[in-house]
C-alpha cells in the first residue's frame, strides 16, 4: 500500500538473499590496517569507512577485533549520524562540538553512541533494557570508549539538564530489517504496531521537553511503516508549533538516489535503495526512516 507492488517485489527479491556483514572502521584505524582488514574478509569499502563482506566466520576472529578498530553496524544505521553530524556543524558553527550536550535515547546496542564518541563528542546514553546495556557496555569497552550510560525509560526520563542535540532511535516494528530477522514476518501483528506507535509518540513528546531552544532532534526508525515514520513527525510538528523540519538533502548523505529524499524533507531508505555491486548480495541496506526537527522557541 505504501510503495506499490513493483517496488515491493524488487526489495522482496533482495531481502530473500543471504544478508551481508557491514563493519564500521574507527577513525583511529590506519590506512594500511584498513586495507589489511578489507583483504582479510574479502570485503569492499562501499562508503567511507564502511566495509561490506560476506564473511561467515566468528566475529571475534576478524582482524583488529581486540584492538577496537571497528564495530558492526548496518550502513542504513551508520549514515544517520553522518547526516546529524553535518547538521550539528552547520547549526552550531560558532560552538566547539565537544561542549555540546548530546542525548542518545533508546541507545543500545550502541552503534550511534559509538559513532558520537568516535567523532570526539560527548554523549549521555539511555536505554531501558539492562541486558542490552550490558552488551553495549562490553562492546564499547572493547573499543576503548567511555560514555555515560543509564538504564531508564526514554518515554519518562526527566533531567535537570537540557540538551543541544537529541537522537531517538525509537523502538519500532523493525520491518526494515527482515533480511536479517525474517521472524518479524511471523511475530509482528497490527496490534503490536499500534502499541509501538503510542510508545514512539510518548518518547518523542518527552524528548522534545529535554531539548534546548535552537536544538536539533533526530528521529530514526528501522521500519518501512509510514505510520511509524512520516506520520509521526508530520503530526508532531502540526501539534507543536515550536518545532520545524530541518530537511535532509543530498549534500548531507552523498548518495545519488533521489528517491531516498522525500518532498517533506525526510530520508526514506528501502531495502533496495543502495546498489554497490553487480553481486546482488552486496547490495541493499536495512530499511530506515529518519527526520531532523529544530526547536525554534522554548
Is 106 one of the annotated active-site residues of the chain?
A: no
Determine the Cα–Cα distance for residues 71 and 131; give it in Å rounded to an integer. 19
Q: 75: cis peptide before it, omega within 30°?
A: no
Best CA proximity match to 253, nearest among 285, 208, 223: 285
Phi, psi of 36 (to 5 degrees): -65, -40
Ranges assigned E (strand) in the chain: 21-25, 44-47, 50-53, 70-72, 102-105, 123-127, 148-151, 163-169, 211-221, 243-245, 267-269, 288-295
Phi, psi of 165 (to 5 degrees): -140, 130
Catalytic residue among 172, 222, 237, 249: 222
Determine the Cα–Cα distance for residues 186 and 184; give it in Å rounded to an integer. 5
Give the Cβ contact number of residue 60 at 10 Å. 8
- Residues known to be catalytic: 222
Amino acid at each position: 500500500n505504501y510503495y506499490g507492488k513493483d517496488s515491493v517485489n524488487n526489495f522482496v527479491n533482495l531481502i530473500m538473499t543471504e544478508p551481508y556483514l557491514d563493519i564500521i572502521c574507527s577513525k583511529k584505524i590506519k590506512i594500511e590496517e584498513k586495507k589489511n582488514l578489507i583483504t582479510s574478509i574479502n570485503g569492499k569499502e562501499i562508503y567511507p569507512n564502511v566495509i561490506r563482506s560476506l564473511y561467515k566466520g566468528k566475529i571475534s576472529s576478524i582482524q583488529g577485533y581486540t584492538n577496537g578498530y571497528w564495530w558492526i553496524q548496518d550502513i542504513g544505521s551508520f549514515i544517520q549520524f553522518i547526516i546529524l553530524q553535518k547538521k550539528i556543524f552547520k547549526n552550531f558553527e560558532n560552538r566547539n562540538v565537544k561542549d555540546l550536550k548530546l542525548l542518545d535515547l533508546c541507545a543500545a546496542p550502541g552503534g550511534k553512541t559509538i559513532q558520537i564518541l568516535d567523532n570526539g563528542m560527548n554523549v549521555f546514553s539511555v536505554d531501558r533494557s539492562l541486558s542490552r546495556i550490558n552488551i553495549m557496555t562490553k562492546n564499547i569497552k572493547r573499543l576503548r570508549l567511555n560514555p555515560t550510560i543509564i538504564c531508564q525509560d526514554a518515554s519518562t526520563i526527566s533531567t535537570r539538564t537540557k540538551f543541544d542535540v537529541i537522537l531517538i532511535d525509537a523502538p519500532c516494528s523493525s520491518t526494515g530489517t527482515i533480511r536479517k530477522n525474517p521472524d518479524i514476518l511471523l511475530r509482528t501483528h497490527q496490534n503490536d504496531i499500534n502499541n509501538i506507535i503510542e510508545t514512539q509518540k510518548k518518547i518523542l513528546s518527552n524528548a522534545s521537553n529535554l531539548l534546548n531552544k535552537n536544538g536539533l532532534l533526530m528521529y530514526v526508525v528501522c521500519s518501512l511503516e509510514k505510520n511509524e515514520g512520516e506520520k509521526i513527525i508530520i503530526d508532531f510538528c502540526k501539534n507543536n508549533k515550536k518545532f520545524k523540519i530541518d530537511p535532509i538533502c543530498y549534500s548531507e548523505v552523498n548518495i545519488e538516489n533521489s528517491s531516498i529524499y522525500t518532498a517533506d524533507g525526510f530520508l526514506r531508505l528501502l531495502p533496495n535503495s543502495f546498489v554497490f555491486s553487480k553481486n546482488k548480495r552486496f547490495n541493499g541496506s536495512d530499511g530506515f526512516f529518519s527526520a531532523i526537527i529544530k526547536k525554534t522557541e522554548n
